Amino acid sequence: MAIIRDLILVAEAPDTIRAVAGAVDRSSDELRWERCETLEELELRLDHERIPTVIVDIGSPPERALRDLDPIINRYSESRFILLSDEASPALILRAMQAGARHLLRRDQISTDLLPVVRRCAMGRVSRNGSLGSIISVFTAGGGVGASTFAINLANELAQQSGQKALLIDLDCVHGAADTYLAVSAQFGIADILRDGDRIDAELIESTVVDAGTHLDVLLSPAAINFEAPAAPMFDHLSRLLYQARQLYTNTVIDAPRLPLNVTYTIARSSIVAYIVFEMNVRSIRIARNIYSALTARNVRPEFLIPVANRYRGRREAISLDKAQSAIGCERIATLSNDFRNVLECMNFGRTLADQAPRSALRRDICVCVDCVRSAIATRRQLSEDLQ
């Protein structure tokens, strides 16, 4: 039977060894740890032992150590690697992520930050109620129809009402919206995670998201990271990311505009509810119909695919809601009030409707959509129980 160790340290510098030993000794977790002097010795240990966490001092300069670590991390993917360095520049963090490391920690942070990182890597995380969380997707029937505003506030309302962290994924690869709307920034985003393929896990997501509030995390779009040359997301790895997000968050909302149909289908099939945001005009209704028809033709269940008429003005609309529903061919249409002033103030101040305009009509309409999500979750759960 394989031996299980909690932690192995690969380091030669006495100061680093003492710092790690001091941090571990202060822990109440009763961690079992040992030290290897070289990467060659580490490989021999990993061949015979299951080690949840490996800490490696990559020295200075770090390039050679990262090059040597790359195949080791790939081979022993069940272990979580934490790297120690004198610096934590964006370029070095990116190189460490590309090698498959789960965290890069400066040596002067060992005493304060090492144990929380070790706990997260060693124990892993699952959704808070022991079951997988839900994906809610938001598609758009053309630019400027307000889908991002809806997605951002929907994610925030789901988080606030559940009291648990929600994740917002901004897949607007052309412009991005979440960073400006929520007044946040980050060095890495969704494209950086998707690049890691089979190494995508909860720890990688946690180290990449940006905190946008008490209960909301955000994965920023490639355009928010580098507007002039946004990285192209590797959508082949999207399903793995969504699965890991479901283990980590109770609710994950995806703002998914202008995506290829196969990617839209992947997201819709993973979603408990998929919203299609449009406006009450002929062009927008036609695009909504095309998206709806394409997804239902690929066996996305129509009862969980909901068109949403944004900026709806009731009787003042030239096209009635019944006619729009008939044109799209859907079972129902949700509506969002025309609340341009409050939305503009939210964007200008980097705040959500819950913070800036808690009594607005638009927020009330979004809360109705939250109720639809809850209803869909209950329906899916019942369908699952009926099949068992």
> What are the pLDDT digits (tens) for 279-308?
999 999 999 999 999 999 988 889 889 999
The reported pLDDT for the residue numbered 279 is 96
Check whether the bond before 61 is cis (ω within 30° of 0). yes
The reported pLDDT for the residue numbered 388 is 40
* Cα–Cα distance measured from residue 327 to residue 278, given in angstroms and rounded to the nearest whole number: 13
**Ranges of the chain whose pLDDT falls below 70:** 1-5, 28-30, 47-48, 121-131, 383-388
- Let me know if the fold of 3-123 is the same as that of 134-387: yes
The reported pLDDT for the residue numbered 4 is 45
Spatial contact of 158 and 251, defined as CB atoms under 8 Å apart: yes
Residue with tokens 């290897």: 36
The reported pLDDT for the residue numbered 143 is 86
Token duo for residue 275: 């919203």
Spatial contact of 328 and 285, defined as CB atoms under 8 Å apart: yes
* Cα–Cα distance measured from residue 238 to residue 86, given in angstroms and rounded to the nearest whole number: 34
CATH architecture of the region 134-387: 3-Layer(aba) Sandwich (3.40)
Domain ranges of the chain: 3-123, 134-387
Sheet containing strand 33-36, strands side by side: 33-36, 7-10, 53-57, 80-85, 103-106
The reported pLDDT for the residue numbered 197 is 79
Which distant-in-sequence residues (6+ apart) come within 8 Å of 283 by Cβ? 142
* Cα–Cα distance measured from residue 89 to residue 96, given in angstroms and rounded to the nearest whole number: 11
* Cα–Cα distance measured from residue 379 to residue 147, given in angstroms and rounded to the nearest whole number: 25
Which is nearest to 237 in space by CA: 266, 209, 217?
Answer: 266
Alpha helical stretches, state H, the chain: 14-25, 39-48, 63-75, 90-99, 110-123, 147-162, 178-182, 190-194, 202-208, 222-225, 238-248, 261-270, 282-297, 321-328, 340-349, 353-356, 361-387
With residues binned 3-state (H G I as helix, E B as strand, rest as coil), the percentages for the chain, rounded to 5, are 50, 20, 30
**Nearest-10 Cα torsion for 336, 380, 172, 96:** 140
Class of domain 3-123: alpha beta
The reported pLDDT for the residue numbered 28 is 64
